[in-house]
Structure 1
Amino acid sequence: MLTTTLLQTHFFGQSNGVYTPDFLSSPIIPFNYTGTPPNNTMVSNGTKVVVLLFNTSVELVMQDTSILGAESHHLHLHGFNFFVVGQGFGNFDPNKDPAKFNLIDPVERNTVGVPSGGWVAIRFLANNQDVHTSWGLKMAWIVLDGELPNQKLLPPPADLPKC
């Protein structure tokens, strides 16, 4: 059981063994995400994250699945605005769908719905290192500090309660 929050371990440089920076960029076993779900979905808990350098441009494609039933899921990216560059129904095709992305005048949001039985692609700039709260780590990324003082994570307050 953790005795220090993930945010504190990151700030104090004590994150060794708390999380690992090896979040997968694609599923271990791809399947037809909008079709009949497989018998074994291999779902597991973990503490794998993506470590992002400050000001990294990030593209994230979120795919709805039919594992528990296809439904529209909403995503709010706390601390960031992002651009919705594409969306569609069915399985995202990384070879065909990016050609249809709107890179000229995409809509800017902080919340988007992943269509039922579909996908949505967003792009954002990782310039907010304050998203290390529990929700941010559940989203599986950590934004590293930038070079300037206003680009660094503030220390936790002295009276922060222990876990």
Structure 2
Amino acid sequence: MPADYDLDELYANTYTEQDRRAFETQPESSKKFLVAWSLALFLGPIGAQRYYLGYLPTAVLKTSMFCAGVVLMILGLPNAGLPLVGVVGAWTIVDLFLLLSGTMRDRADHRLQGFTRFGGICAAATVLVLVGWLIVALVIGTSSGVAG
């Protein structure tokens, strides 16, 4: 049966000129993609990009979870604080992917200004930053494990 399918025809031209025009005619937000992306990348755990895009309830929830996790760790309860910070970290990575895919829009569901121009560059920069953070975490983790 698989020989019956013409995969070239199935996957050819999946993003057509009509799709491009439909995307470009969608309403554009006054919010800038670069600002939202920068906020998500550097201040994501406190929900800065969500405040910027107008998602106040989830922004407040994200900020509260992060602050609660940090306070619990400061109080000497890492078993309670680390999971909260971990969930917020994962949520931040999901927010970055939503922004970079064009899925996250402003509160009025308008696409962000500059997404088509800067999306690819920002995606590459995001990968570099995340890999850099991973390397720093690995170096710190192995150094502290060796030291004692």
Please identify which structure carries the higher helix content. Answer: 2
Which interval holds the TM-score relative to the shorter structure? Answer: under 0.3
TM-score computed with the length of structure 1 as normaliser: 0.24
Q: Which has the higher contact order (CA 8 A, sep 6+)?
A: 1
TM-score computed with the length of structure 2 as normaliser: 0.25
Please identify which structure carries the higher strand content. Answer: 1
